[in-house]
Structures are given as structure tokens and as C-alpha cells.
Amino acid sequence: MSVPGLAISLWTPQNNSLPSSKELRTVPEDFRAILETFENQHPQRDYEIEISVPEFTSVCPKTGQPDFGTITITYIPESLCVELKSLKMYMQAFRNQGIFYENVTNEILNDLVAAMQPRWMQVRAEFTPRGGISSTITVEHYNETPPDELQVI
């Protein structure tokens, strides 16, 4: 049955192998170059910045299907803060990127830490359910040793 004006496109892998990263990559090789920073106006004070990206999109490298989620970045800045428009462009760069949930969450943390060197940062990725299963990945960076109550023994 067809519905006038409605087109549905499904991508199905031709074999069981994963698409290569080059097949799905449409973003710059150096994601960090997109990120811009500005001087922290209150470096003497520990304060928390929380940024929510509720419309994050990437692509499952196994199925080619889009993945949707909310990325929450929380950090205590040292001398630099991330500029929000550049962060938006950075996040949009993942839109057509074939990358697993765990990998994208760690890559975002790595890139932001490299750009800002914060005192502390957490990246939390909450992906929408697929097949009845939802995933939340949380990664953290400490500039120093974490407080005792947070240390894993």
C-alpha cells in the first residue's frame, strides 16, 4: 500500500560486515578544531557549568540506523570555558558519523578535555530506546585525584 506524498527509505546492510568509518564519515578528521573556548572570568572559584544537548544524533555503525539521545556535559572550568555555538557545531558533526554509544561518549569527553583542561568534567549520554533497550553512558575526567567518596577501589 502506498500513501501519496509519503516516502520511506530503509538502509539495510548488504552483508554482515560493519561499514568502515570512511564510508560513514562526513565530518572533519579533527573534531577538536571545531571547538572554541573563551577565558574563564572566575578561575579562583569552583563553579559548575551544565550544558544539555537534547537533539544529539549519530549513526549506528552496525545497522546504519540513526541513534538519538541527550548529551549532558557538566564541568568545573579551570582557565577556559567552551563557546556554545562551536559546541553546537561540534555535536552536529556527529550527525552522519558511524560510531557506537560508548565510543562517542568517550570521544566527546576526550575532545572537550583537550580543548579546555577543566578541573572536572562529566559527559552523560542518554540514548533513546531501540528494541526496548535504552543505554546511558557516563564518563568522567578529574584534573586531580577524585574525592574519596568517588574513588573506585
Is residue 19 included in any domain, yes or no?
no
Pair 139, 105: CB distance under 8 Å: yes
For residue 128, how far is the Cα from the chain centroid?
Answer: 14
Best CA proximity match to 113, nearest among 58, 1, 31: 31
Within-domain flag for 70:
yes
Name the pTM for this structure.
0.77
3 is in an annotated binding site: no
DSSP string over 92-125? HTTTT-B--HHHHHHHHHHHHHHHH--SEEEEEE
Q: What domain range includes position 110?
A: 49-142
Contacts of 97 (CB under 8 A, 6+ apart): 24, 25, 26, 27, 58, 59, 104
Question: Is residue 101 part of an annotated ligand binding site?
Answer: yes
Residue 13 lies in a domain: no
Q: Give the per-residue pLDDT at 12.
A: 44
Residues belonging to the active site: 60, 67
Residue 146 carries which DSSP code? Answer: P
Report if residue 124 sits inside a domain: yes
pLDDT in tens, the chain (153 residues): 444 554 443 444 444 555 454 444 444 557 789 999 999 999 999 999 999 999 999 999 999 999 999 999 999 999 999 999 999 999 999 998 999 999 999 999 999 999 999 999 999 999 999 889 999 999 999 987 655 665 544
Q: How many other CB atoms sit within 10 Å of the CB of residue 88?
A: 14
Q: How many CB atoms lie within 10 A of CB 62?
A: 13
Number of domains forming the structure of the chain: 1
Give the CATH number for residue 69.
3.30.1130.10
Tell whether 83 is in a known binding site: yes
| Beta carbons of 8 and 50 less than 8 angstroms apart | no
Q: Which residues contact 109 (CB under 8 A, 6 or more apart)?
A: 121, 123, 139, 140, 141
